Structure 1
Amino acid sequence: MEVFPEVSRSWFLAGEGEMLTTTPQPEKDATVISSGKVIPYYDAEVAAGTAYGMEMTPTQPVGWIEIGGLLKDSEFAMRVYGNSMTPNYPAGCVVGLRQYNEHFIEPGTVYVIETSENRFLKRLYYNAEKTAFRCLSDNHMKHENGPMEGEYFYPEFEIPFEDARRLLRVTGVIKRNVM
């Protein structure tokens, strides 16, 4: 274990607890400008849409992202799938996330809301009765013709408070331009 001091002995021997005991630090190199802050990256699905059947089993980090000051208040990061949050959160972007433990949301703010079946990236509001979260997409594209003419591609939907297992606040986004 002296070779990998950041690996938890109880995780290694018995598979219990967290894999890492400390956050690994990048090697020191005089040519690299670095803040040294890294966060775990989970390649778990975060759907910006409702047409995704997800694997909701617990996951482990697949890597680490050095974030410097860009996402300094993030605890971890995930990749976005789907187009309902385009242009602000396009498919393939990485969002920084922080566990949200407050008893209220800031209406109009983007969160990841997790249920037993799915993990959605949405702009959240309360419904009129204050019994559910209203989930809205940033992409307001409508059907141009046919039987669904004028309807949104990504209509809003509600998630009852009791169905929300976890809320994660989006702290930032890393996007790349497609060539």
Structure 2
Amino acid sequence: MSSWERLQEVVEKSGLSINAFALSIGLKRAENLYQIRKGNHEISRELARKITAKYPEINEAWLLTGKGGMHERETLSASKKIPLYDSGFEDLRMLPDEKASIEPLYYIEAPTLSGGDFATICYGNSMEPDIPAGAIITLKEIDPSAVLPGEMYLVITSNYSTVKCVMDVAGDAEKFRLIPKNTAEYGEAIINKSDILRLFLVKGVISTKVL
């Protein structure tokens, strides 16, 4: 499926014309969308983010790559509050399973961070300055096959859980590179994709400044 075919599905789902759809996602005009229809451009990451900010049920990875399905979990809409857990990453092996016994601390409502399944507190500093220690991160579970290289993910294995930028390994389709932002204190690691139990895209970061 081409970029335009995916984009066309989203436009048709919105019930808007191309021009009206462009305005709905914050574009001043629809020229970029018409260029995609002509085959001159692909869907950019910036455009995908504009679309998913307005329509959070749309899968950003599917928009960009065609991998996975068009829809993410529609039960968690932009208007719904996101549960915040403070149980450590290890407990996320079962969250947000409906059978999980862990209760959220409370619920947060942040329209600009829509599209997340839930939120938790990141205590480590390996992703500073992007994610300061103690920041709240909102997360959406995805399939490892839908990874967008360079984005930040919470990676959970049977041995450890960590937030890192995830990149492909050149020449080895079975592995990922886990890259920290704080390279002064942390090094890069290589992981087998088969070792991943769950994978969560970091959709947003909420940090506070201590005065």
TM-score by length of 2: 0.55
**What do the CA deviations read for 1:46-105 (whole angstroms, capped 9, x no partner)?**
4xxxxxxx5677462322322231211111001102111000101100000011136231
Question: Which residue does the alignment assign to 1:170?
Answer: 202
Question: Which residue does the alignment assign to 1:73?
Answer: 115
Percent identity (aligned): 31
1:37 counterpart = 2:80: yes
Match of 1:125 among 147, 167, 170: 167
- Identify which of structures 1 and 2 has the higher relative contact order when contacts are C-alpha pairs closer than 8 Å and 6+ apart: 1
8 Å Cα contact 1:114/1:120 also seen in 2: yes
The aligned length equals 129
Question: Which residue does the alignment assign to 1:112?
Answer: 154
Match of 2:191 among 151, 156, 159: 159
- Name the aligned partner's letter for residue 133 of structure 1: F
SS of 2:194's equivalent?
helix
Unmatched 5+ stretches in structure 2:
1-74, 95-99
Quote the Cα distance in structure 2 between the aligned partners of 1:97 and 1:61: 17
User: Using a 3 Å threshold, how does the CA distance of structure 1 residues 37 and 159 change in structure 2: closer, same or farther?
Assistant: same
Higher strand share goes to which structure?
1
**What do the CA deviations read for 1:109-153 (whole angstroms, capped 9, x no partner)?**
001111012221000001121221100001122xxxxxxxxxxx2
RMSD of aligned alpha carbons: 2.3
Question: Which residue does the alignment assign to 1:93?
Answer: 135
- Name the aligned partner's letter for residue 95 of structure 1: I
- Name the aligned partner's letter for residue 183 of structure 2: H
Question: Which residue does the alignment assign to 2:47?
Answer: none
8 Å Cα contact 1:125/1:134 also seen in 2: yes
SS of 1:82's equivalent?
coil
SS of 2:181's equivalent?
coil
User: Using a 3 Å threshold, how does the CA distance of structure 1 residues 57 and 76 change in structure 2: closer, same or farther?
Assistant: closer
Structure having the higher Rg: 1
8 Å Cα contact 1:96/1:171 also seen in 2: yes
Q: In the TM superposition, what are the counterparts of 1:2-41 in structure 2 within 5 Å?
A: 37-41=80-84
Unmatched 5+ stretches in structure 1:
1-21, 24-34, 47-53, 142-152
User: Using a 3 Å threshold, how does the CA distance of structure 1 residues 172 and 87 change in structure 2: closer, same or farther?
Assistant: same
Quote the Cα distance in structure 2 between the aligned partners of 1:111 and 1:57: 14
List, as ranges, runs of 4+ consecutive aligned residues in structure 1 with deviation greater than 6 Å.
none
Quote the Cα distance in structure 2 between the aligned partners of 1:61 and 1:77: 12
TM-score by length of 1: 0.64
- Name the aligned partner's letter for residue 187 of structure 2: P
Quote the Cα distance in structure 2 between the aligned partners of 1:71 and 1:176: 16
8 Å Cα contact 2:144/2:193 also seen in 1: no
